[in-house]
Amino acid sequence: MEWLEEILKDVDGKEDIIKNIKKGIGENFVAKDDFNNKNNEVKDLKEQISERDKQLEDLKKVDPKKLQEEIDTLKEANATKQAEYDAKIHNLKVESALDKALISSGAKNTKAVKALLDIDVENAKFDEAGNLENISTMLDGIKTSDPYLFESKEPTKKGFTGVEPDGGNPNPGVKPDSEKSYEDFVKELESK
């Protein structure tokens, strides 16, 4: 407010005039900083409105039918991928359950036994315990027709059969050749 004092420097009662002017300015006018802040806010809002108008114009250009077709295509692609994923998970579960059943049944070669099983992997079902339905019946059939593919549950005999172990004397009354003397050989030949 120095500018006001400069203008009124020669006027009598200038303090009262300046006081009244300041009071009037405070009631009827806005400070320059407040004005600039509000002015900047208005500019920002105008820019936002302009941006929104541009976005609305861009949206008007969008073809709703084409957009719906794209959405439908994406939904179909997602459903296909989900079905493929579910099928892979199901196949893994079936393979795992089959391997578990084959190992527990004593299969010597699981690959060979799998080749003999007629399992529709896509339509395979599980029982409450998580095992494949009817797998034990199928395995029992293969155990009957091809028992060589499975470990035998009968205890196996250890050792050789039909072979006489070396080290014993088959004729206990006769000395082994290493202990015989010349006379023993002669007696043996005469007795034959």
How do residues 136-173 score in pLDDT, each as one tens digit?
888 888 888 888 888 877 666 666 666 655 655 556 66
Provide the pLDDT for residue 163: 61
Q: How far apart are CA 116 and CA 112, in angstroms?
A: 7
In whole numbers, what is the pLDDT of the chain averaged over residues? 82
- Give CA torsion, residues 25, 27, 33, 36, to 10 deg: -100
Tokens 């939904």 -> residue: 75
What confidence tier does 7 reach under pLDDT thresholds 50, 70, 90? confident
Q: What is the pTM of this model?
A: 0.47
State how far the alpha carbon of 48 is from the alpha carbons of 41, 51, 57, 62, 138, in Å: 11, 5, 14, 21, 73
Q: How far apart are CA 175 and CA 129, in angstroms?
A: 69
Average pLDDT over residues 124-138: 84
What confidence tier does 59 reach under pLDDT thresholds 50, 70, 90? confident
CA 62 to chain centre: 38
